[in-house]
């Protein structure tokens, strides 16, 4: 390894519009087909799309692209989304639609994200994965989960 | 069987049996002592008492609890005196017997590990109690009665808790309540999923109709071909096709009829499974109220009052969870009744009432709900005081007050701290009792109504209405803003179609007769319509009843009545306004269950938002600490957002304006010290006071240097210190540190 902080993770890479992202496979509990979403009254944050049913349980469905609204214009619409990823880590659980599930890499080389305390733009990444097609951001379920929790207050 | 050593805790299985037996025998002892205290002991009472005490003595011997053996022996001696002298025990002796019961009760609740330390700690107290029991006089002499003869076998030492009873009774097994809940939820889901079989059946019927149509087409084709001259080969092919088609058709029919039978059996079995598991969750009402007679006895002694408690409907079956969550509100209502309602014997005689007050607690099923009523023949609520307080607190205007009936004043009692200045009693709390009763019952999906007891004409009557089960409820499915919502059927008053002409509008609000109507679209999707902009002339309205108010909800479409398995949303979403729970129907569409009570409050304009509240950011990497702090701050009326570490807190600060930051020190990604440094360097956030709560006491100086206004050690943080901090920042509204 060139970077001493780099580590190997098992990851699932997916596509949202033209952008590619990843989650650790241990945090993904299910990949399911597209299904109806029920909006949640009084929750106005566009991040929260609503509730969906996964294995008979209701889970919060988010619009992942809204997390990056400043820098990322692509939006997964109900018509283009093919799959829904269900994430669970610690007390947080959520689901979101993606355009495509690309691949699973059993041992991906991840360069951790360097925290810049002066940075004021919220971001939700653990680090970057470099593959043959370019850089992929590895997302942090805890940071996203915590952000979702705040939307309900 | 090996005899356990007195210095060793008893065998685990044996001790479990012992505690179980102790509890059931104690119930018998307590019930008889309470019932006999007012009257005299009957021969059968003494016999039953001695049997129960003797059974405990025998069991205590088996597990080498010598002190318990001595205690029960002394209890036997005390009662034997009663038996031989045919005397009613003195008040002192009864007190000692109850005290001995308290010891036994405490032991029955101890864990195996805590047993021996407890016995060592209490040894002297038990010895003194034994002496007192044996020496206490029998003052209350009565008319001589024939000596009671107790069959000798009653007093023979038997370890029946270990042997005989268990051979006679069906063996009980211990079941983890979580597993039972899970089983119940699977059975409920299975029941709710059953309608899917119907949709499959409809599909088969549709296919069958298509096959019949095809068969007709085939016959027609055959007839036409016979008229034409076609090759033998084609004729054979068509005949073969016809034969194959008929075979397929027959097989399909057999398959559908097999499916019909199978779906019928499956539906039946699923229902039986649900009912059997539900029955296991059901417990008699008596389980919730078994401690009440003793509580009433102790409180009436303490307050110098004389009270009889009459409990009706002991056999009424109630869902285990509902029952468990009912104990606390009922305890509070009983305490209120005895402390505030029932008068002293002197006061009662002066108003020509019987010197002994009566509290009646009753449970029954009606309209698919559990109803619990609690009435007393005491002095009732002080209506003058309620009126005065409500006017002082400007909860009603003088004009409104003039039109309120006596019963209409009583709901004010359920407001938190309504009587905040009144005297604080050790028994009935600090003026939050009825408010917490109301909250507990609401959380169960029920309601509580207070009224003047019509029987006594003066006392109070509390009527509690609760769901029979929390897992499956019957709902009316409706469509609002193109999405599905469910309204619990139990609260629905009526459903009807109304023409706009039948309604009248006032200040842009719609009314039907004297009920206000609200548009579901407006509530759940913020589509604001005025009566003038209602698109349809015919409105579908669901009227529901909440705390004697009937309100109407305009919906887009009424779908059907069905049973749903209730899914809790609070774990992921917290409390969603006006939504009680969620569910999923067979095509995987989520449905939200409307909380009728909060909707009703909203319609009455009682809804409060967080506009004037203080906003606090709690930063800690421990979920437990975040939850505790959040709960504590919210209890004090603040709005709380949480962050899992410094970096997450920085994100949260970008999104919202906070009045206070409470942070931990040791956290991943960005620690508390780094967070404080960032905050104090930033022009936007530097004035927000920050408190540090950390286990790292050595970081105190550094935290204060970096700008924290206070540092609290997690190791030494007490509830009172925390309360002080919260009061300082919230109650006094001082946010300047």
Residue A8 has φ and ψ, to the nearest 5°, of -100, 135
Q: Collect all residues of chain B within an 8 Å Cβ-Cβ radius of residue A91.
A: 623
Sheet holding B460-467, edge to edge: B307-312, B357-366, B369-376, B460-467, B447-452
pLDDT above 70 (res B165) = no
What angle (nearest 5°) sits at the alpha carbon of residue B26, between those of residues B25 and B30? Answer: 125
Region class of B313: left (phi > 0), else alpha (psi between -120 and 50), else beta: left
Is the CB of A114 inside 8 Å of chain B's CB atoms?
no
Q: How confident is the model at residue B735 (pLDDT cuts 50, 70, 90)?
A: very low
Region class of A99: left (phi > 0), else alpha (psi between -120 and 50), else beta: alpha
CB–CB of B572 and A60 under 8 A? yes
Is the CB of B190 inside 8 Å of chain A's CB atoms?
no
CB–CB of A58 and B590 under 8 A? yes
The contacts found for B321-324 with CB under 8 angstroms, 24 or more apart, are B321/B181, B321/B281, B321/B470, B322/B370, B322/B444, B322/B466, B322/B467, B322/B468, B322/B469, B322/B470, B323/B283, B323/B285, B323/B287, B323/B288, B324/B288
Query: How confident is the model at residue A87, as a pLDDT?
Result: 94
Model confidence pLDDT, tens digit, residues B412-446: 888 776 775 455 555 555 455 788 888 888 777 77
Residue of B100, B82, B93 lying closest to B29 (CA atoms): B100
> What would the two tokens of residue B124 be?
């002297």
Model confidence pLDDT, tens digit, residues B319-337: 877 888 889 899 989 988 8
Do you know the residue count of chain B?
Answer: 737
CB–CB of A41 and B592 under 8 A? yes
Report the distance separating Cα B346 and Cα B330, nearest Å: 27
Q: How confident is the model at residue B158 (pLDDT cuts 50, 70, 90)?
A: very low
Mean pLDDT of the A76-105 span: 84
Closest-approach residue (CA) in chain A for B589? A36
Model confidence pLDDT, tens digit, residues B378-395: 988 888 888 888 888 777
Contact B584, B609 (CB under 8 A): no
Q: How confident is the model at residue B352 (pLDDT cuts 50, 70, 90)?
A: confident
Mean pLDDT of the A83-90 span: 91
Report the distance separating Cα B522 and Cα B515, nearest Å: 17
CA dihedral B255, B261, B262, B266 (to 10 degrees): 160
Show the beta-strand stretches assigned E in B255-366: 282-284, 307-312, 317-319, 357-366
Query: How confident is the model at residue B144, as a pLDDT?
Result: 41
Least confident of B251-265, B360-374, B486-500, B600-614: B600-614
3 state DSSP class of B231: coil
Residue of B140, B396, B179 lying closest to B277 (CA atoms): B179
Residue of A66, A31, A26, A29 lying closest to A46 (CA atoms): A66
Residue B591, CA distances (Å) to B333, B485, B486 in order: 36, 5, 7
Query: How confident is the model at residue B149, as a pLDDT?
Result: 40
Residue B483, CA distances (Å) to A42, B158, B517, B535, B556 in order: 15, 67, 20, 18, 9
Instruction: Kindly give, in sequence order, each residue whose CB lies less than 8 Å from that of residue B735, ignoring residues fewer than 6 positions away.
Output: B614, B659, B660, B689, B729
Is the CB of B137 inside 8 Å of chain A's CB atoms?
no
Is the CB of B182 inside 8 Å of chain A's CB atoms?
no
3 state DSSP class of B510: strand
Residue of A126, A125, A128, A88 lying closest to A108 (CA atoms): A128
CB–CB of B647 and A147 under 8 A? no
pLDDT above 50 (res B2) = no
Instruction: Kindly give, in sequence order, each residue whose CB lies less than 8 Å from that of residue B205, ignoring residues fewer than 6 positions away.
Output: B256
The single-letter DSSP state of residue B417 is T
Is the CB of B657 inside 8 Å of chain A's CB atoms?
no
Least confident of A68-77, B265-274, B349-358: A68-77
Task: Identify which of B484, B567, B574 has the shortest CB distance to residue A58.
Answer: B567
Is the CB of A104 inside 8 Å of chain B's CB atoms?
no
Q: Collect all residues of chain B within an 8 Å Cβ-Cβ radius of residue A95.
A: none
Q: How confident is the model at residue B570 (pLDDT cuts 50, 70, 90)?
A: confident
Least confident of A39-43, B228-232, B252-256, B477-481: B228-232
CB–CB of B590 and A57 under 8 A? no
Highest mean predicted confidence (pLDDT) among A12-21, B25-34, B282-291, B316-325:
A12-21
Task: Identify which of B578, B584, B643 has the shortest CB distance to residue A146.
Answer: B643
Tokens 């355009």 belong to which residue? A99
Report the distance separating Cα B674 and Cα B668, nearest Å: 11
Interface test with B, best of A50, A61, A123, A150 (most B CBs within 10 A): A150
Residue of A76, A63, A83, A71 lying closest to A12 (CA atoms): A83
Query: How confident is the model at residue B582, as a pLDDT?
Result: 87
CB–CB of B590 and A52 under 8 A? yes
Count of other CB atoms within 10 angstroms of residue B113: 10
3 state DSSP class of B732: coil
Is the CB of B630 inside 8 Å of chain A's CB atoms?
no
Query: How confident is the model at residue A51, as a pLDDT?
Result: 93
CB–CB of A51 and B577 under 8 A? no
pLDDT above 90 (res B550) = no
CB–CB of A117 and B483 under 8 A? no
Task: Identify which of B588, B643, B670 has the shortest CB distance to residue A36.
Answer: B588
First-to-final CA distance of chain B:
68
Closest-approach residue (CA) in chain B for A153? B641
Residue B402 has φ and ψ, to the nearest 5°, of -65, -25
List, in sequence order, every residue forming a beta bridge with B582; answer none if it has no partner.
B567, B592
Tokens 């989520």 belong to which residue? B590
Report the distance separating Cα B484 and Cα A52, nearest Å: 13
Q: In percent, how much of chain A has pLDDT > 90?
A: 31
Contact B314, B285 (CB under 8 A): yes
State the smallest CA–CA distance between residue B588 and chain A in angstroms: 6
Query: How confident is the model at residue A139, as a pLDDT?
Result: 92
Is the CB of A10 inside 8 Å of chain B's CB atoms?
no
Count of other CB atoms within 10 angstroms of residue B138: 17
CB–CB of B647 and A115 under 8 A? yes
Is the CB of A152 inside 8 Å of chain B's CB atoms?
yes
**A with B: how many residue pairs have Cβ under 8 Å apart?**
104
Q: How confident is the model at residue B141 (pLDDT cuts 50, 70, 90)?
A: very low
| Whole-angstrom Cα Rg for chain A | 15
Q: How confident is the model at residue A119 (pLDDT cuts 50, 70, 90)?
A: low
Contact A20, A14 (CB under 8 A): yes
Do you know the residue count of chain A?
Answer: 153
Q: Collect all residues of chain A within an 8 Å Cβ-Cβ radius of residue B579.
A: 40-41
Model confidence pLDDT, tens digit, residues B38-90: 666 777 777 778 888 887 887 787 777 888 888 888 888 877 766 554 556 67
Residue B564 has φ and ψ, to the nearest 5°, of -130, 150
Q: Collect all residues of chain B within an 8 Å Cβ-Cβ radius of residue A38.
A: 483-484, 582, 589-592
Residue of B708, B705, B653 lying closest to B684 (CA atoms): B653
Query: How confident is the model at residue B311, as a pLDDT?
Result: 92
Instruction: Kindly give, in sequence order, each residue whose CB lies less than 8 Å from that of residue B230, ignoring residues fewer than 6 positions away.
Output: none
Q: How confident is the model at residue B365 (pLDDT cuts 50, 70, 90)?
A: confident
Higher pLDDT, A106 or B633: A106
List, in sequence order, every residue forming a beta bridge with B639; answer none if it has no partner.
B615
Residue of B203, B118, B581 lying closest to B211 (CA atoms): B203
Query: How confident is the model at residue B116, as a pLDDT?
Result: 83
Is the CB of A93 inside 8 Å of chain B's CB atoms?
yes
Is the CB of A36 inside 8 Å of chain B's CB atoms?
yes
Contact B515, B550 (CB under 8 A): yes
Is the CB of A146 inside 8 Å of chain B's CB atoms?
yes
Show the beta-strand stretches assigned E in A19-148: 19-24, 28-33, 48-54, 57-62, 83-89, 92-98, 100-112, 125-131, 134-139
Model confidence pLDDT, tens digit, residues B702-719: 888 888 888 888 767 666
Q: In percent, how much of chain B has pLDDT > 90?
A: 7
Taking the alpha carbons of B630, B632, B633, B638 in that order, is the dihedral positive or negative? Answer: positive
Query: How confident is the model at residue B491, as a pLDDT?
Result: 76
Report the distance separating Cα B91 and Cα B540, nearest Å: 67
Task: Identify which of A52, A56, A152 has the shortest CB distance to residue B573.
Answer: A152
Mean pLDDT taken over chain B: 78
Least confident of A138-142, B119-123, B536-540, B634-638: B634-638
Region class of B733: left (phi > 0), else alpha (psi between -120 and 50), else beta: left
Is the CB of B574 inside 8 Å of chain A's CB atoms?
yes
Mean pLDDT of the A102-128 span: 76
Q: Collect all residues of chain B within an 8 Å Cβ-Cβ radius of residue A50.
A: 590
Mean pLDDT of the B558-579 span: 79
Is the CB of A59 inside 8 Å of chain B's CB atoms?
yes
CB–CB of B589 and A36 under 8 A? yes
Report the distance separating Cα B228 and Cα B222, nearest Å: 10
Report the distance separating Cα B242 and Cα B246, nearest Å: 6
3 state DSSP class of A92: strand
Is the CB of A41 inside 8 Å of chain B's CB atoms?
yes
Exposure class string for B62-88: b at 16+ Cβ within 10 A, else e? bbbbebbbbbbbbbbebbebbbeebbb
Higher pLDDT, B339 or B613: B339
Global confidence as pTM = 0.52
Model confidence pLDDT, tens digit, residues B580-602: 888 888 777 899 988 877 777 66
Count of other CB atoms within 10 angstroms of residue B476: 21
Interface test with A, best of B578, B644, B645, B677 (most A CBs within 10 A): B644
Q: In percent, how much of chain B has pLDDT > 70?
A: 82
Interface test with A, best of B481, B564, B590 (most A CBs within 10 A): B590
CB–CB of A40 and B669 under 8 A? no
Report the distance separating Cα B74 and Cα B296, nearest Å: 26
State the smallest CA–CA distance between residue B621 and chain A in angstroms: 10
Model confidence pLDDT, tens digit, residues B495-539: 988 888 888 877 667 788 878 888 888 878 765 555 555 556 788
pLDDT above 60 (res A36) = yes
pLDDT above 60 (res B732) = no
Mean pLDDT of the B307-314 span: 91
> What would the two tokens of residue B456 be?
């006594």
Model confidence pLDDT, tens digit, residues B437-494: 888 887 777 788 888 887 777 889 999 988 777 667 788 999 998 899 999 887 788 8
Report the distance separating Cα B187 and Cα B195, nearest Å: 14
CA dihedral B132, B135, B139, B142 (to 10 degrees): 110
Report the distance separating Cα B729 and Cα B614, nearest Å: 9
Q: How confident is the model at residue B726 (pLDDT cuts 50, 70, 90)?
A: low
pLDDT above 60 (res B737) = no
């Amino acid at each position: 390894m060139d970077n001493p902080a780099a580590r190997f993770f098992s990851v699932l890479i997916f596509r949202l519009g033209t952008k590619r992202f990843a989650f650790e496979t241990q945090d993904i509990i299910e990949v399911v087909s597209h299904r109806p979403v029920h909006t949640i009254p009084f929750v106005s944050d566009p991040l929260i799309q609503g509730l969906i049913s996964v294995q008979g349980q209701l889970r919060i469905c988010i619009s992942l692209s809204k997390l990056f609204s400043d820098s990322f214009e692509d939006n997964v619409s109900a018509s283009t989304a093919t799959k829904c990823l269900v994430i669970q880590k610690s007390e947080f659980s959520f689901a979101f639609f993606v355009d495509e599930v690309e691949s699973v890499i059993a041992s991906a080389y991840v360069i951790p994200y360097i925290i810049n305390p002066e940075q004021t733009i919220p971001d939700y990444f653990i680090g970057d994965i470099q593959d043959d097609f370019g850089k992929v951001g590895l997302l942090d379920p805890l940071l996203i989960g915590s952000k979702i929790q705040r939307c309900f207050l | 069987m090996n005899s356990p050593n007195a210095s060793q805790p008893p065998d685990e299985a044996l001790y479990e049996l012992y505690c179980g037996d102790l509890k059931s025998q104690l119930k018998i002892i307590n019930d008889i002592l309470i019932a006999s205290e007012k009257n005299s002991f009957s021969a059968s009472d003494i016999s039953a008492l001695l049997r129960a005490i003797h059974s405990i003595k025998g069991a205590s011997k088996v597990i080498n609890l010598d002190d318990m053996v001595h205690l029960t022996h002394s209890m036997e001696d005390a009662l034997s005196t009663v038996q031989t002298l045919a005397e009613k025990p003195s008040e002192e002796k009864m007190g000692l017997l109850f005290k001995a019961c308290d010891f036994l009760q405490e032991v029955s609740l101890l864990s195996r590990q805590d047993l021996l330390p407890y016995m060592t700690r209490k040894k002297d107290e038990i010895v003194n109690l034994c002496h007192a029991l044996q020496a206490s006089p029998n003052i209350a002499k009565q008319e001589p009665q024939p000596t009671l003869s107790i069959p000798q076998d009653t007093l023979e030492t038997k370890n029946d808790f270990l042997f005989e009873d268990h051979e006679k009774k069906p063996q009980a097994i211990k079941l983890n309540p979580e597993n039972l809940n899970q089983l119940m939820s699977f059975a409920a889901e299975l029941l709710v999923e059953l309608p899917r079989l119907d949709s499959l059946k409809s599909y088969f019927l549709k296919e069958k109709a298509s096959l019949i149509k095809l068969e007709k087409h085939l016959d027609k084709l055959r007839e036409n071909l016979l008229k034409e001259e076609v090759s033998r080969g084609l004729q054979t092919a068509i005949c073969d096709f016809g034969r194959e088609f008929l075979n397929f058709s027959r097989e399909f029919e057999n398959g559908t009829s097999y499916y019909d039978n199978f779906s019928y059996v499956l539906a039946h079995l699923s229902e039986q499974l649900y009912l059997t598991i539900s029955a296991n969750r059901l417990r008699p009402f008596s389980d919730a109220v078994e401690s009440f007679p003793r509580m009433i006895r102790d409180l009436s002694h303490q307050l110098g009052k004389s009270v009889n408690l009459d409990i009706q409907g002991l056999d009424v079956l109630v869902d285990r969870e509902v029952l468990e969550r009912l104990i606390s509100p009922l305890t509070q209502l009983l305490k209120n009744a005895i402390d505030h309602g029932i008068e002293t014997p002197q006061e009662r005689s002066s108003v020509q009432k019987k010197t002994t007050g009566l509290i009646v607690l009753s449970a029954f099923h009606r309209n698919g709900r559990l109803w619990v009523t609690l009435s007393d023949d005491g002095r009732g609520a002080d209506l003058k005081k309620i009126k005065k307080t409500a006017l002082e607190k400007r909860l009603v205007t003088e004009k409104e007050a003039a039109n309120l009936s006596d019963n209409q004043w009583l709901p004010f009692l359920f407001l938190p701290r309504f009587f905040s200045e009144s005297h604080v009693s050790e028994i009935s709390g600090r003026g939050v009792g009825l408010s917490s009763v109301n909250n507990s019952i609401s959380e169960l999906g029920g309601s509580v109504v207070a009224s003047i007891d019509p029987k006594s004409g003066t006392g109070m009557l509390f009527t509690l209405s609760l769901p029979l089960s929390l897992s499956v409820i019957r709902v009316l499915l409706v469509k609002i803003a193109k999405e599905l919502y469910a309204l619990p059927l139990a609260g629905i008053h009526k459903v009807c179609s109304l023409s706009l002409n039948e309604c009248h509008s006032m200040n842009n609000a719609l009314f039907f007769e004297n009920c206000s109507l609200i548009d579901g679209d407006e509530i759940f999707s913020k589509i604001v319509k005025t009566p003038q902009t209602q698109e349809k002339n015919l409105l579908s309205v669901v009227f529901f009843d909440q705390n004697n108010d009937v309100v109407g909800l305009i919906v887009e479409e009424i779908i059907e009545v069905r049973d749903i398995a209730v899914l809790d949303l609070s774990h992921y979403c917290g409390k969603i306004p006006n939504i009680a729970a969620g569910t999923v129907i067979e095509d995987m569409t989520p449905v939200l269950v409307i909380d009728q009570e909060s909707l009703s409050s909203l319609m009455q304009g009682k809804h409060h938002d967080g506009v004037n509240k203080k906003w606090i950011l709690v930063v800690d990497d421990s979920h437990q600490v975040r939850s505790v702090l959040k709960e504590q701050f919210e209890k004090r009326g603040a709005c709380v957002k949480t962050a899992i570490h410094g970096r997450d807190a920085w994100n949260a600060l970008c999104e919202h304006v906070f009045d206070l930051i409470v942070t931990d020190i040791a956290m991943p990604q960005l620690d508390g010290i780094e967070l404080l440094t960032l905050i104090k360097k930033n022009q936007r956030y530097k004035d927000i006071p920050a408190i540090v709560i950390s286990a790292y006491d050595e970081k105190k100086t550094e935290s204060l240097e970096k700008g924290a206004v206070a540092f609290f050690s997690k190791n030494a943080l007490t509830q009172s210190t925390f309360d002080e901090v919260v009061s300082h920042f919230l109650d006094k509204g001082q946010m300047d540190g």
